[in-house]
Amino acid sequence: MHGQITAWHWAAFLIAVVVLLALDLGVFHRKAREVRLREAIGWTTFWVLLALSFGLWIYRTKTREDGLQFLTGYLIELSLSMDNVFVIALIFSYFGVPLRFQHRVLFWGIMGAIIMRGVMIGAGAALIKQFHWLLYVLGAFLVITGVRMLFGGENKVDPDRNPVLRLARRFFPISKQFDGQKFITSVNGRQMLTPMALVLIMVETTDLVFALDSIPAIFAITQDSFIVFTSNVFAILGLRSLYFALAGAIAYFRYLKIGLSLVLVFIGVKMLLGIWQLKIDIGWALGTVGSILALSVIASLIASWRDKDSQAPSA
């Protein structure tokens, strides 16, 4: 039996996350500026390698299956984050957020997402431990969600239908103009929320909606709260750089949504098989999820290249 995860491991992980975020905001992005594609790709690579290194540590500290569970969970969370990226791009476009201010919104959005997901994971783990049949309810939910995503329309952003945003507009005065990176400004001596604050609210509520899919999905892989939480956090930490790397390439991932929907259906079926005491090996689960996502990305790229060739002028 390998070593057990203790409170010291939790504390060390949380401290490391806080330090990394402090360095991000206080050193690397101290001033508002546009994040270039090359920098975004570099940071995305850094976060992915850091997550893989952490998975290797889990593999050596606990068991092979735990390491594969972390890797599978991280892959699922990261892939679902890609769909979140495209929605965030629509939010920024809707509100006209300047490129140099977008990183600050994502930073605080991620801080809120970590807290929200931590609470949801803790509550979910406690409920599943007490009521194991909830796993099958979550499995059915994932299958239904995957099917709806498969046959649903395109992502749309409608702030007027966001209940949290409507409450904010009802109870707080909102300024019409951005005031740099500030979320609160003073207009004629009156404190008001800026459009940046509304964007942050939209980003937070969007992540909450996506968490309703992603967290049940990873509980299908493992009920180990440490693996569930850390894989979520690593995916969230890489979300900012992933956004700047992919936001301008939305058209190249036209079939990704189909891939994500199939992943949700597969994970939901995996959970439901537990009713009949059937279990899919974690190695097969990882391979299936990875293959679905890889095929959807490859199909998207091929379709984009064909469109580009068909639009090129003939000789």
pLDDT at res. 154 = 60
Beta strands 184-187; 190-193: pairing state:
antiparallel
307 vs 264, which has greater pLDDT? 264
Tokens 């060739």 found at: 309
What are 245's two structure tokens?
């790397």
Indicate the pTM of the whole model: 0.83
In a domain, 188, yes or no: yes
Position 95 confidence tier, pLDDT thresholds 50, 70, 90: confident
- Residue 196 resides in a domain: yes
The answer to whether residue 26 sits within a structural domain is yes
Q: Does a structural domain hold residue 314?
A: no
Count up the domains in the chain and report the number: 1
The answer as to whether 313 is a domain residue is no
pLDDT tens for each residue of 24-82: 766 666 676 677 778 888 888 999 999 999 999 999 888 889 999 999 999 988 888 77
- Range 3-12 contact pairs with CB under 8 angstroms and sequence separation of 24 or more: 3/61, 3/62, 4/62, 5/61, 5/62, 5/224, 5/226, 9/226, 10/226
Is there a domain that residue 1 lies in?
no
Tens digits of residue pLDDT in 143-163: 998 898 888 766 566 666 778
Confidence of residue 310 (pLDDT cuts 50, 70, 90): low
- Note the pLDDT tens digit of each residue in 240-260: 888 888 766 666 777 888 888
Residue 74 in domain: yes
How many angstroms separate the Cα of 54 from the Cα of each of 15, 35, 281, 285? 15, 26, 22, 20
In the chain, the amino acid numbered 4 is Q
Q: Print the domain residue range for 275.
A: 7-308
Would you state the pLDDT for residue 2? 57
Q: Could you tell me if residue 173 is left (phi over 0), alpha (psi between -120 and 50 degrees) or otherwise beta?
A: beta
SS (H, E, C) the chain: CCCCCCHHHHHHHHHHHHHHHHHHHHHHCCCCCCCCHHHHHHHHHHHHHHHHHHHHHHHHHCCHHHHHHHHHHHHHHHHHHHHHHHHHHHHHHHHCCCHHHHHHHHHHHHHHHHHHHHHHHHHHHHHHHHCCCHHHHHHHHHHHHHHHHHHCCCCCCCHHHCHHHHHHHHHCCECCCCCCCCCEEEECCEEEECHHHHHHHHHHHHHHHHHHHHHHHHHCCCCCHHHHHHHHHHHHHCHHHHHHHHHHHHHHHCCHHHHHHHHHHHHHHHHHHHHHCCCCCHHHHHHHHHHHHHHHHHHHHHHHHHHHHHHCCCC
pLDDT of residue 315: 44
